[in-house]
Structure 1
């Protein structure tokens, strides 16, 4: 994979902290706005990136690049992904994938027509522990309650309180607790259990955005709560439980990082901890492998999962719009 990185924010810095461990990925270029040129050159020099672009159209003309990693504010995902696909590049989009179902269908059609790969970067779906959790659900009897909590005081919250609204707290830019943090909980729940029957969101609404909230997803035989907050001081370790009538599963970190999990039954405790790898390592290792092997079945499976998550998000955003029709 010959990669062009789109963006220079915190998630890009995280990505660059481990990506040299995946030898099949070559960092060809990084793109950002002109006012970020100094930061772009710093990232280039520190991480041996060949080229820097401040004009996206110029990057798209670079024939050395075959894949784009789009890590921009949420409302820009669709625009940059579509341009990338139309230019003949595979696209990896940071979560949340896109903002509307129409955008999803548009990107999916272009990727199919042009035989290009299209993925959502969502760490918990690619962790080896995801499959282990799925296996363990068969050992805890009938699942009755699932409770997930990914709350983390935002580094941008202080500015938000003073009235400086950055994209992370701008609902029109795809910001808010639902799409920034709770999306990880939604991915985990739907990945394990599929489509919920009922969806309801209770949330704190401040300056026209959900700063925290509790999302209830009801399944035929159990209820789940997905909690997320950007305005709360929370412990670093997660408090995540899948509880059945014969045992329970715990996830000991927030749901963006499921590296430490444990199975508790009447007579035993089984603890599984992944060794050392950054939480994003496994998804990008998978993307590189699947793009190299042109595994279209796998891509379509993961697009189907992303579509289901978007259906949940769309339902919740429709409820929020109904709650606040003047916003």
Structure 2
């Protein structure tokens, strides 16, 4: 499958390196707003074609699929443009600014008979497969706690007056969108859409959320979920899934490094899994996306989790008073 890439940041570097571990993967083209940046990225990775026009990329006959790694505020328009041109689209997380945008993206994919999928590496890999396979050992699930608190390398610049994209709410960015999504998505994959959420955040001087907490309730299941995320503090505390018979611990979202269960009798079971490259596990989401597209299958199951993700995040932002320009369209 021949890919085009929109965006030339470090995530795109990871994508190329991970994709080259997938059979049939090839990067044909890259798009950047400036030809100079595009050429630099293309030369670095040996990519034949370079564009500074989205229209030219969309019309390229030798590109089958497009990976989108631009700022979140650009995801919907760029995805829809590529989908309308008959390209499959793998869009980096968070998939959109809000549910309305995502619905439009999914509608475009359906209309043109192509695959659209969110690049959610956390839940498409052997480590998360092992989590799902071992959940029954915990008994009835009562509490899920996902935590990702990672002090951003860009925060020091922010404090010095240099505001990069990750801290710009006008680009649909912030702590919830950047890393909180890694807490929301596995929650809805494990428990489904919650009955209600309560959300609170800490805002920085430009209105961007630096950290936040979401409490989700599942009435029929008799379960709760706690989501704790931050770009302005750091924490090594593992995430956990508490059941009546035991608790599963998970280290290091979004690239899981260790999973184990502690049962009520205090015995421990380590959960084994193998990752081809523990430092970059994007190859699994790429392989799944390619499999679905080449088999002419539907990505509906993956997309349902993305819809629930957006619904939870939209409601959380409403409660926290976080409004993006995309919400006003």
Q: How high is the TM-score relative to the length of structure 1?
A: 0.91
Secondary structure of 1:257's counterpart equals: coil
Structure 2's unaligned 5+ residue stretches are: 324-329
After superposition, what is the alpha-carbon deviation per residue over 1:180-215, rounded to whole angstroms, capped at 9, x for unaligned?
A: 001011111100110112211121111201101111
2:87 to 76, 86, 89: 89
State the match for 2:183 in structure 1. 185
- 1:322 CA drift (Å): 7.9
Q: Is the 8 A contact 1:202 1:214 kept in 2?
A: yes
State the alpha-carbon separation in 2 of the partners of residues 66 and 16 from structure 1.
15
Structure 2 residue aligned with 1:11:
11
Q: Is the 8 A contact 1:201 1:213 kept in 2?
A: yes
Aligned pair count reads: 316
- Structure 1 residue matching 2:90: 3-state secondary structure: strand
Q: Tell me what 2:326 maps to.
A: none
CA contact (8 A) 2:200 2:319 kept: no
Structure 1 residues without counterparts, runs of 5 or longer: none
Report how far residue 142 of structure 1 moved.
Answer: 2.3
**More deviation in 263-272 or 276-285?**
263-272
Q: Distance in 2 between matches of 1:32 and 1:246?
A: 52
Q: Deviations over 1:65-92 (max 9, x none)?
A: 0111000001000110011111111111
Residue pair 1:29, 1:52 contacting (<8 A) in 2 also = yes
> For the residues of structure 1 that align with 2:234 and 2:164, how far apart are their CA atoms?
19
Q: Hey, what's the Cα distance between the residues in 2 that align with 1:210 and 1:60?
A: 34
| Residues 99 and 174, structure 1, Cα contact 8 Å, conserved in 2 | yes
In structure 2, the CA distance between the partners of 1:82 and 1:322, relative to structure 1 (3 Å rule), is closer
Equivalent residue for 1:226?
227
Query: Stretches of 4+ moved more than 4 A in 1?
Result: none
- 3-state DSSP class of the match of 2:316? helix
- Write the mapping of 1:1-327 to structure 2, written as runs, cut at 5 A: 1-34=1-34, 37-207=35-205, 208-220=207-219, 221-235=222-236, 239-254=238-253, 256-265=254-263, 266=265, 267-277=267-277, 278-296=280-298, 299-321=299-321
| Closer/same/farther in 2, CA of residues 275 and 101 from structure 1, 3 Å limit | closer
Q: Deviations over 1:217-237 (max 9, x none)?
A: 1222122211111111344xx
Conserved? CA contact 2:203–2:210, under 8 Å: yes
- The CA distance in 2 between the partners of 1:60 and 1:140, in whole Å, is 48
Q: Find the aligned partners of 1:304 and 1:10 in 2 and give their Cα distance.
A: 28
How far residue 15 of structure 1 moved from its aligned partner, in angstroms, is: 1.4
Task: Output the CA distance in 2 between the equivalents of 1:126 and 1:110.
Answer: 24
* RMSD value, Cα: 1.7
Question: Structure 1 CA distance, aligned partners of 2:197 and 2:101?
Answer: 22
Q: Does the CA-based 8 Å contact 1:259-1:273 persist in structure 2?
A: no
Which residue of structure 1 lines up, in the alignment, with residue 327 of structure 2? none
Equivalents in 1 of 2:275, 2:230: separation in Å?
28
| d(CA) in 2 for partners of 1:146, 1:107 | 30
Conservation of the 8 A alpha-carbon contact between 2:127 and 2:275: no
